[in-house]
Chain A
């Protein structure tokens, strides 16, 4: 019954990073952004963690949806299942980071468990089902989505570090200027839209 999307995994991957950036085009994942992005280094760390979680949750939720939820007519419980899978993945990533790099674990602090409620991670799952991506395309979308999010976050933190010294009108400081920066970045990324020709 499902009409699989014919978009190839590579197109999905590059699309998710540039033309279809989950933060700049779909507005997802801004929440944890504002407080973490004071330093490029921690933004990179978070970006890597989110990419890992996104890829993993897409890879796990796809078979759960198509092989368990759909045949048993339980798709309405989808949201709950995805959240649990995300929570489990985040626990796993937390463990890995704690072992691999204690300082990074300390820097990220509460933002690691907050990945569980990151709109971008959840959104990536929902979008992959709406667009009926195949399994490989879905994993590619998770990977690309995470990388694209990371790219946007890191770029924004770099910009914020630069303008931290600039004189801004009082009302614009903080979220105001960040949003305007995001808007300009979104405009810039729209320039990529010719990159992936519709097949």
Chain B
């Protein structure tokens, strides 16, 4: 018994010694990590708004502050953004951040609408933990690009098949994930008017 306690105590002591280098590296990179997160979000919002996303991080940040404005709809409500057109003035569209259940965990998407909330300007994904190589392919360009200009409510067709305005190509072998995305989009579409105050 005493042996076991000594075991635990010794390991705690060693741990404290090793925490120092880790903390050092962490503090060194903290700013960069936070920046990465922020830029990632901004890229997704811009992409969903149908705006061409620049490569450089700094440009993304400045473009975002010029074109996107966060709309706070209450503490619990998911974030939404009003997108202004290049010339300024009337909003050119809206982007909502929406979360829904996927196959393995939650899927969080940015869904962009035009000013009338009628058709989509684009879709991008912030978080998903779907099967790599299958469901996770929803983050690939070909999948996210196909939503531009489409109107819901959506149904799916097979991958590679031609899709009408209210259909999109699912991913072969990832029907559950594809349907999950469909649910998220459809619920966003039906609630869109209510999300904009």
From 124 to 154 in chain A, residues with beta carbon under 8 angstroms from any chain B beta carbon are 130-132
Q: Is the CB of A130 within 8 A of B15?
A: no
* Interface membership of B73, Cβ < 8 A: no
Q: Is the CB of A132 within 8 A of B106?
A: yes
B57 to chain A, nearest CB (A): 22
Chain A 8-44 interface mask (CB, 8 Å, partner B; 1/0):
0000000000001000000000000000000000000
A60 to chain B, nearest CB (A): 14
Residues of B within 8 A of A131 (CB): 104-106, 129
CA distance in complex: A80, B14 (Å): 11
* Interface membership of B195, Cβ < 8 A: no
- Tell me the dominant secondary structure on chain B's binding face: helix
| Residues of B within 8 A of A (CB-CB), count | 24
* Interface membership of A166, Cβ < 8 A: no
From 1 to 32 in chain B, residues with beta carbon under 8 angstroms from any chain A beta carbon are 4, 7-8, 11-12, 15, 18-19, 22-23, 26
Q: Is the CB of B101 within 8 A of A198?
A: yes
Q: Is the CB of A3 within 8 A of B108?
A: yes
CA distance in complex: A91, B1 (Å): 10
CA distance in complex: A130, B106 (Å): 9
A23 to chain B, nearest CB (A): 16
Chain A residue nearest in CB terms to B19: A77
* Interface membership of B167, Cβ < 8 A: no
CA distance in complex: A95, B8 (Å): 14
Chain B 171-189 interface mask (CB, 8 Å, partner A; 1/0):
0000010011001000000
Binding site for A on B (CB under 8 A): 4, 7-8, 11-12, 15, 18-19, 22-23, 26, 99, 101-106, 108, 129, 176, 179-180, 183
Binding site for B on A (CB under 8 A): 3, 5-7, 20, 76-77, 80, 84, 87-88, 91, 95, 130-132, 193, 198-199
